[in-house]
């Protein structure tokens, strides 16, 4: 019986992330600057994996700051758009949807934790991110 409720709970979240969230995202507007390139980042900044996620994000920020000081990419400043996966695969998927659908991100960096990356990697591959 417990497995039944666990399965129902899982299906509810799958429905939420793949149906409700993209519809909501289409109704929101995010302004983008044509002189900037948005790069998304999904890191575990809270939860069990936050120790490593924080280090990874700090390294990425340092690299982007150095590149922007050199003039960015083809003269365009790199704008980092960060989402916290909260060390949760389900939250990593919703973060991916927000970055893709709302922020318009088409390049993505993320954690070293496979249990987080594997949750949204198929979507990113399918959408060419």
- The C-alpha torsion from 17 through 20 and 21 to 27, rounded to 10°, is 170
| Residues 56, 108 contacting (CB under 8 angstroms) | no
pLDDT number for residue 68 = 97
* Helix residue spans in the chain (DSSP H): 2-15, 21-27, 50-69, 89-101, 114-127
pTM above 0.75? no
What's the pLDDT score for residue 33?
63
CB 32 within 8 A of CB 104: yes
| pLDDT for res 88 | 95
Measuring CA to CA, which residue among 9, 2, 90, 5 is closest to residue 42?
90
Nearest residue to 122 via CA among 85, 93, 80: 93
**C-alpha span between 13 and 29 (Å, rounded):** 24
- For residue 114, the model assigns a pLDDT of 84
Taking phi first (over 0 means left), then psi (-120 to 50 degrees means alpha), and beta for anything else, what does residue 71 get? left
Q: What angle separates helix 114-127 from helix 89-101, to the nearest 10 degrees?
A: 30
Q: pLDDT per residue over 68-126, tens digit each?
A: 999 999 999 999 999 999 999 999 999 999 999 999 998 999 888 888 888 988 888 89
Could you report the per-residue pLDDT of 30-45, keeping only the tens digit for each?
445 678 999 999 999 9
**pLDDT over threshold 50, residue 12:** no
């Amino acid at each position: 019986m417990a497995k039944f409720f666990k399965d129902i709970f899982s299906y509810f979240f799958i429905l939420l992330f793949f149906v409700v969230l993209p519809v909501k995202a289409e109704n929101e507007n995010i302004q983008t600057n044509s002189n900037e390139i948005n790069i998304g980042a999904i890191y575990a900044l809270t939860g069990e994996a936050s120790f490593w996620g924080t280090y990874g994000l700090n390294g990425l920020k340092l690299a982007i700051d150095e590149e922007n000081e050199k003039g960015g990419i083809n003269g365009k400043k790199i704008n980092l758009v960060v989402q916290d996966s909260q060390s949760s695969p389900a939250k990593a998927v919703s973060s991916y949807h927000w970055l893709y659908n709302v922020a318009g991100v088409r390049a993505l960096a993320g954690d070293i934790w496979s249990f987080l990356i594997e949750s949204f990697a198929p979507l990113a591959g399918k959408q060419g991110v």
